A and B are shown apart, each in its own frame.
Chain A
Amino acid sequence: MLVMIREDFREILRLVRPGARVLDVGCGEGALLELLTREKEIDGRGLEISAHGVAACMARGLSVVQGDADQDLDHFPDKTFDYAVLSQTLQATRNPRHVLDELLRIADRAIVSFPNFGHWRVRWSLISRGRMPETKALPMPWWSTPNIHLCTLADFMALTEDLGVRVDASAAFAGNGPARPIDPTTALENWRSETCLFLLSRGAPAERVEPSAVSGDLLIP
């Protein structure tokens, strides 16, 4: 069976150093952890809120703990990991600021992706219909979405500045299209980036990693 890799997973796969210690927060059924373990031989751990997801991870042989980002990150010691991944979860946390802070306490680098509420489709939906947007990146109605702290690219940049966090790499996705390098400081990006992904750190300035320019689906047997 051929499994197509999610575009943001492919980008994360590219950013993570082989053999690194990785924590995937909100790891679901462990698809990303399994991919990273297979392709990059990482020493992976996961945190997942649903028992169903944890059981699926166990069946894959992954070390995944049931818990949530808001409460359980506090129990990890400083610098336990090389990377902490928070993929499409930040907007569902109660205290995104605290979670982001914790990610960079327990790991040298954080890889964070979220749907950009500043995307033109979202803005258009609000302006034209006056209703909470339902887009590909934000598919659920307002009353059932787990997303409680939506933000725009500009909001996120302001938070990283506030927290003294440096952006080492950034990429944008639309649908399941290939990753596109972005310059988050340009106003235009806030209009056209549907989903954003950032490599963040607190250490000394690191070499800036450019997102992959190669496209085409990576197929894994």
Chain B
Amino acid sequence: MADLDLDVSAPLGGGVWRFPADRPLVLDSGARIGGLEIAYQTYGSLNEDGTNAVLICHALTGDQYVASTHPATGKPGWWTRLVGPGKPIDPARHFVICSNVVGGCMGSTGPASTNPATGQAWGLSFPIITIADMVRAQAMLIDALGVDTLLAVVGGSMGGMQVQQWAVDYPQRVFSAVVVASTSRHSAQNIAFHEVGRQAIMADPEWRGGAYAAQGSRPEKGLAVARMSAHITYLSEPALQRKFGRELQRDGLSWGFDADFQVESYLRHQGAAFVDRFDANSYLYITRAMDYFDLAAPHGGVLANAFKAARDVRFCVLSFTSDWLYPSSESRHIVRALTAAGCRAAFAEIDSDKGHDAFLLDEPVMDAALTGFMASVERERGIGR
């Protein structure tokens, strides 16, 4: 990294980058966030031509620790299957960047951050954010990292929404875009599930109108329920059946409401583990951003019109057969719009019974498709292997 002759302001490797107060993040809602802080990680280094930067966009409850141990949980990075030595995205060849989204709670400015005006946590006084706002903040970060164009923007689920937004808002800065298990807008069912989660949080007496931080409490029960209901949508019936079936925790039934079934105890564990690493208000803001996301809306409701600006971006769209949160039909809708807009699109529906979470799991066909796609965009971009 030392041999790079770059005007890099934000430090490589990662940390929290604070933007000067005179460079606020301007939000879709019209609000501005001055002194924006974005937490991020980088792996590898930018090549001399500045052509090998890859931005990874995380999903709803993800974070910047895409390929390194999570400081709170001690678990490996969430996408070490795809990012790492010998993987499709390899720090030996790529300058990998992953940031925590604005509104998040792993170091980026969000509702849990301190509002400089009051000295208290923002809570519900934090402005509503959108997927485009997240992307705008990422663009500010890659500027600060001295990156002009991105070889690829890659993301699954909410990350895939950001990838599409990147291609539409900054087509000249995006060489290729990888959208995995995602959608161009939420269905009524998607919004409905998110609403259940939000209502669970807000129904928790410890939520206290969103001002729980100031009052020294945490809506852990509500947040855990939100996570439990969402987690079901990330799996598939065959995957749940295979993993748990109707197996019991112990001999016989409790004849009460203890977690008799293994699946109950699994969900309780998922909920309990989640509250240790996630902020309830962040969950409200980010799910709202996803519900508001509708890429076609500013383009007369025609998705192809949104993608017209991105005609030179090479797209790779992947979906999974058992994903019922963002089913393949959503990906096909994106691909048809890309086709109609004259974009270069590759699309594969991967046979998997692991549901939406398949994008985080062992799916060799996904690995192979991404390896091939990355190799081809590197060739086109003139990056030697």
Contact = CB atoms under 8 A, between A and B. Distances in A.
A59 B373 CA distance: 6
A80 B380 CA distance: 23
A61 B336 contact: no
B339 A75 contact: yes
B365 interface: yes
Given A59-B372, A60-B372, A61-B376, A54 B348 contact: yes
Contacts of A67: 332, 335, 347
Contacts of A75: 336, 339-340
A80 B369 CA distance: 26
Interface string B335-358: 110011010111111110000000
Contact of B339 (A52, A57, A59, A65): A65
B121 interface: no
B365 A61 contact: no
B240 interface: no
Contact of B344 (A45, A54, A77): A45
A197 interface: no
A57 B346 contact: yes
A72 to B, nearest CB: 8
B316 interface: yes
Interface string A41-57: 00001000001101111
Taking residues whose C-beta sits less than 8 angstroms from the other chain, chain B's interface range is 20 to 34
A65 B344 CA distance: 10
A55 B368 contact: yes
A82 to B, nearest CB: 13
Nearest to A44: B344
B379 interface: yes
A41 to B, nearest CB: 13
A204 B351 CA distance: 45
Contact of A58 (B339, B346, B380): B346
Interface in B324-340: 332, 335-336, 339-340
B375 interface: yes
A58 B351 CA distance: 16
B335 A65 contact: yes
B70 interface: no
B346 A63 contact: yes
Taking residues whose C-beta sits less than 8 angstroms from the other chain, chain A's interface range is 20 to 34
B375 A59 contact: yes
A64 interface: yes
Contacts, number: 70
Interface string B351-385: 10000000000000100110111011101100000
Contacts of B336: 72, 75
A62 interface: yes
Contacts of A52: 365
A82 B340 CA distance: 15
A80 B348 contact: no
Given A51-B349, A75-B336, A63 B344 contact: yes
Given A61-B372, A77-B340, A54 B351 contact: no
Contacts of A72: 336
Given A51-B365, A76-B340, A60 B376 contact: yes
Contact of B380 (A51, A60, A61): A61
Contacts of B348: 51, 54-55, 58, 66
A128 B125 CA distance: 86
Contact of A80 (B342, B347, B368): B342
B373 to A, nearest CB: 5
Nearest to B372: A59
B314 interface: yes
A82 B157 CA distance: 36
A35 B193 CA distance: 48
Contacts of A57: 346
Interface in A130-144: none
Interface in B250-292: none
Contacts of A63: 314, 344-346
Nearest to B315: A63
A58 B373 contact: yes
A56 B372 CA distance: 8
B368 A76 contact: no
16 contacts: A51-B349, A51-B365, A55-B348, A55-B368, A55-B369, A56-B372, A58-B376, A59-B368, A59-B369, A59-B373, A62-B376, A63-B314, A64-B347, A65-B346, A75-B336, A77-B340
Given A76-B339, A76-B340, 10 more contacts: A52-B365, A55-B365, A58-B369, A62-B346, A63-B346, A65-B335, A66-B347, A66-B349, A75-B339, A80-B342
Question: Which 8 residue pairs are nearest across A and B when measured between Cβ atoms?
Answer: A61-B376, A59-B372, A75-B336, A54-B348, A63-B344, A58-B372, A65-B347, A55-B369
